[in-house]
Amino acid sequence: MKKHWKWLVLILVIIVAIVAGMIFYRRDSNGKPFKASLNHSKVMMTPDWYAKVTLTANKGTTYEVKNSKNKVIQGKSETKNGKAEIRLNGTGNYTVIAKSDNGHVSKKLPVKVNHYKVAPNKWTSSVGPLWFKITSVEYQKMKKSEANKPDNSGIDEAYKELNNHYYQVKVNYLVKNSSKKAVNPQYTIWMPEADNG
């Protein structure tokens, strides 16, 4: 019985040592549990064509950014007091990999970047009977391909002149006729103009 008791105590000590070692190992060099998070898991490109997320982590944390193909697009960088603003220059899925200052713990933080889209849903002031309501504006980077080729022969020549990558702005709007007289869109010149001309 004494022999079994000694083995039981020895196994218990080994288990406690392993658990304590794992708990200690999963901490930074100051003995604090490693925490890392992004302020958003989904962000939208700005009109200046970049997106931004903020990493908050333990002091001394380093990070790198990988794209959806697991390729490093931003190499190892240090945070300032555990914080860093990370700029992403394209749409898609990314992973921010944060590591503790002693390198013992790392955390993978996914972030998705969508193209710029706003939905103002406001009627514009107008001169005359026609009112325009802009429902959405989308701004995205495009790549020349058969799928993106316009189906309008009138702009084929302009499409041919574009670079391999180009930007497309899509404005969706409603038109309301406040007059009792009908407007025939076939014979109406549509020339919406922005506030700045």
- Strand, coil or helix: 133: strand
Q: Do residues 122 and 147 both lie within one domain?
A: yes
Res. 38: pLDDT tops 90: yes
Last residue of a domain, one of 114, 142, 168: 114
Total of domains in the chain? 2
- Span 23-43, average pLDDT: 83
CATH number at residue 69: 2.60.40.1930
Q: Do residues 177 and 154 both lie within one domain?
A: yes
Q: Do residues 150 and 91 both lie within one domain?
A: no
Domain ranges, residue 164: 117-183
For residue 18, what pLDDT is reported? 58
* Residue 191 falls inside a structural domain: no
Q: Do residues 39 and 99 both lie within one domain?
A: yes
Give CA–CA dist 36/54, Å, rounded.
Answer: 11
Question: Which tens digit of pLDDT belongs to each residue from 112-166?
Answer: 999 999 888 888 777 678 888 889 989 888 888 888 887 766 677 788 888 888 8
Res. 19: pLDDT tops 60: no
Handedness of CA 141, 146, 151, 153 (dihedral sign): positive
Give CA–CA dist 35/59, Å, rounded.
Answer: 10
Q: Do residues 108 and 123 both lie within one domain?
A: no
Question: Which tens digit of pLDDT belongs to each residue from 67-118?
Answer: 999 999 999 999 999 999 999 999 999 999 999 998 888 999 999 999 999 8
For residue 113, what pLDDT is reported? 96
Q: Do residues 168 and 155 both lie within one domain?
A: yes
For residue 35, what pLDDT is reported? 92
Res. 39: pLDDT tops 90: yes
- 82 CB contacts (<8 Å, ≥6 apart)? 56, 57, 58, 59, 60, 61
81 neighbors 59 (Cβ within 8 angstroms): yes
- 21 CB contacts (<8 Å, ≥6 apart)? none
Q: How many CB atoms lie within 10 A of CB 134?
A: 17
Angle at CA of residue 18, ends 17 and 21, nearest 5°: 85
- Span 169-192, average pLDDT: 77
pTM summary value:
0.69
Output Rg (C-alpha) for the chain, integer angstroms.
29
What b-and-e string marks burial along 35-70, b requiring 16 or more CB atoms within 10 Å of the CB?
ebebeeeebebeeeeebebebbbbebbbbbbbeeee
Give CA–CA dist 172/122, Å, rounded.
Answer: 12
Q: Do residues 80 and 95 both lie within one domain?
A: yes
- Strand, coil or helix: 3: helix
